[in-house]
């Protein structure tokens, strides 16, 4: 069932469109303005956005592209307002829906979004078997532990399980447990009441409550502090959570999926992960093979990314030359699908001519692949897989220097996406932009905004 987000007032004709969509089986959410709409998309996603042209459709489309939220936007307005329609389409809206709405047009839109564009691309037999198993367990409500090296597609698989489950109509919420310090992670997970700590100016729902009726993915669960592990265990067992500063527990109906690149059984043996939580989470275990273990997926994935980035950059869709295919098939891909994706993104931008040739496949130097799960930091560069530096190694360095390296590395991990990097760093986007200006002024190279040249005219 398609999930539609309507941005605009439901009291106007857009309300009629909403009623038709619901009558045709869509699930509806509404936001008064673009900023609120984006907030909602970040938390819960949608299959289609209908945005009233009185709002800034261009800004909405640009923001979604920057945050890599893949969701088509259809602008809506009066048919006599041709100027607004043209403006919206030029800004990147997929279509223009004239108001008052026609039931048939809405039905056609819903049908078009029903095909799942986020379905994992799979061809290798090992991976196809895993997907079949995931779809089978999706129907139950049991927790699932997804393991695999960094970049193998653990979040993609988690989203697929959610989409194939009875909770598909509910929200899918993901939280990277390694990206936040303990105190912040606790309030992100469980929410807080107003005044729970200095700075808590208003009550805020945590991820558990945001995922109500849906699925919560706890990514990088192996990095979680033991105190929070105990709280997660309680949430799963009792199906209730305590907001920070709250006086009564809150009931939650959430399916938990957990992901980690670590071998949790070993973490348990070493006393770093609670055994009881491990058994609760690992009711079903799905291990995603490294990309080098599923050669059959390399070319289908490469073609998929070549298409995606050609479209995203307004470039013609081109195939891969036989030589480029050979290069892709012989690389070890220690950064897995994420590395392949980044490589194809660069290749699409670099390639000249009718096909993507080997000269456009720019493979970054990487460490030789390790058969063991490799520890990576939350701020690892997009393709380099490296052990996290022990804090002791930082002694002797200035705080501002370490901060600068952390910010630049995080930004590069996020492929230049400012909003994502700020979120991961736990700082405001404004602070991030100010810091980046300072670094540039000092001659430090800063990862560019996706799709823009390194020192483009756009600020930040």
Interaction site with ligand ATP (CB under 6 A): 120-122, 148, 150-156, 219, 259, 261, 301, 337-338, 341
CB of 285 to ligand ATP, least distance (A): 15
CA 272/CA 253 separation, integer angstroms: 28
Cβ proximity to ligand ATP: between 192 and 261 the closer is: 261
Q: Convert 34-55 into a string of H (helix), E (strand) and C (coil).
A: HHHHHHHHHHHCCCEEEEECCC
Contact 266, 373 (CB under 8 A): no
In the complex, the smallest distance separating the C-beta of residue 151 from ligand ATP, rounded to whole angstroms, is 5
CA distance 49 to 36: 13
CA dist 171 and 153 (Å) reads 20
C-alpha 239: how far from its chain's center?
26
Tokens of residue 183, six digits: 């105190």
The C-alpha atoms of residue 328 and residue 340 are separated, in whole angstroms, by 8
Tell me whether residue 197 is exposed, middle or buried, using C-beta atoms within 10 angstroms of its C-beta: 0 to 12, 13 to 18, 19 or more.
Answer: exposed
> Tokens for 76?
């809506």
Strands 250-251 and 240-241: antiparallel
Q: State in angstroms the smallest separation of the CB of 148 from ligand ATP.
A: 6
Tokens at residue 357, please? Answer: 């040739």
Task: Give 4 or 217: the residue with its C-beta nearer to ligand ATP.
Answer: 217
Q: What are the residue ranges of helices labelled H in 313-388?
A: 322-330, 336-350
Nearer to ligand ATP, 95 or 339 (CB): 339
Which residue of the chain is nearest ligand ATP when measured via CB? 153
Least Å from the CB of residue 387 to ligand ATP: 15
Q: How far is the CB of 337 from ligand ATP (least distance, A)?
A: 4
In terms of CB distance, is 174 or 277 closer to ligand ATP?
174
In the complex, least distance from residue 400 CB atom to ligand ATP, rounded to whole angstroms? 27
Q: Give the H/E segment covering residue 160.
A: helix 154-163
Is residue 245 a contact partner of residue 192, using CB atoms and an 8 Å limit?
A: yes
Task: Pick between residue 113 and residue 337 the one whose CB is nearest to ligand ATP.
Answer: 337
- Which residue, 18 or 177, is less far from ligand ATP as judged by CB? 177
Q: Which is nearer to ligand ATP, 96 or 309 (CB)?
A: 309
Tell me the C-alpha distance between 130 and 174, whole Å.
21
Minimum distance from residue 93 beta carbon to ligand ATP (Å) = 24
266: CB partners within 8 A, 6+ apart: none
User: Least separation, in Å, of the C-beta of 174 and ligand ATP?
Assistant: 9
Which residues, including other chains, have CB under 8 Å from residue 441's CB and lie 6 or more apart? Answer: none
The answer to whether 249 and 206 are in contact (CB under 8 A) is no
Q: How far is the CB of 185 from ligand ATP (least distance, A)?
A: 16
């Amino acid at each position: 069932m398609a999930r539609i987000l309507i941005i605009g007032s439901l009291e106007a004709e857009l309300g009629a469109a909403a009623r038709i969509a619901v009558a045709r089986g869509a699930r509806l959410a509404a936001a008064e303005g673009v900023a609120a709409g984006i907030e909602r998309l970040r938390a819960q996603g949608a299959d289609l956005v209908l945005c009233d042209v009185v709002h800034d459709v261009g800004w909405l489309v640009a923001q979604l592209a920057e945050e890599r939220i893949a969701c088509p936007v259809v602008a809506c307005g009066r048919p006599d307002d041709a100027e607004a329609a043209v403006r919206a389409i030029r800004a990147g809206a997929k279509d223009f829906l004239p108001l008052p709405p026609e039931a048939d047009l809405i039905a056609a839109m819903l049908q078009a979004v029903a095909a799942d564009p986020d379905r994992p691309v799979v061809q290798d037999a090992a991976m196809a078997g895993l997907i079949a198993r995931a779809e089978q367990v999706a129907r139950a409500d049991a927790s699932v532990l997804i393991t695999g090296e960094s970049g193998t597609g653990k979040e993609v698989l988690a989203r697929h399980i959610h989409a194939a489950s009875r909770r598909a109509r509910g929200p899918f919420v993901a939280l990277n447990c390694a990206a936040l310090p303990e105190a912040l992670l606790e309030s992100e997970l469980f929410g807080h009441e107003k005044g729970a700590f200095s700075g808590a100016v208003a009550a805020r729902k945590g991820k558990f409550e945001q995922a109500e009726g849906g699925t919560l993915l706890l990514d990088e669960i192996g990095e979680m502090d033991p105190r929070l592990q105990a709280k997660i265990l309680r949430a799963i067992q009792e199906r209730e959570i305590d907001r920070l500063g709250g006086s009564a527990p809150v009931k939650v109906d959430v399916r938990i999926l957990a992901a980690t690149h670590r071998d949790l059984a070993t973490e348990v043996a070493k006393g770093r992960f609670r055994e009881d939580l491990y058994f609760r989470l690992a009711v079903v275990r799905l291990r995603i093979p490294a990309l080098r273990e599923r050669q059959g997926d390399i070319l289908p994935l490469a073609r998929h990314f070549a298409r995606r980035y050609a479209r995203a950059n307004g470039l013609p869709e081109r195939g891969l030359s036989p030589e480029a295919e050979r290069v892709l098939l012989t690389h070890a891909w220690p950064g897995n699908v994420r590395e392949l994706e980044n490589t194809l993104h660069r290749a699409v931008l670099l390639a000249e001519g009718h096909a993507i040739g080997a000269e456009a496949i720019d493979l970054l130097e990487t460490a030789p692949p390790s058969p063991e799960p490799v520890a990576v930091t939350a701020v690892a560069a997009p393709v380099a897989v490296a052990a996290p530096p022990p804090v002791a190694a930082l002694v002797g360095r200035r705080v501002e220097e370490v901060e600068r390296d952390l910010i630049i590395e995080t930004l590069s991990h996020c492929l230049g996406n400012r909003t994502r990097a700020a979120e991961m760093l736990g700082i405001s986007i404004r602070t991030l932009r100010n810091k980046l200006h300072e670094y540039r002024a000092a001659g430090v190279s800063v990862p560019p905004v996706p799709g823009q040249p390194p020192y483009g005219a756009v600020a930040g």
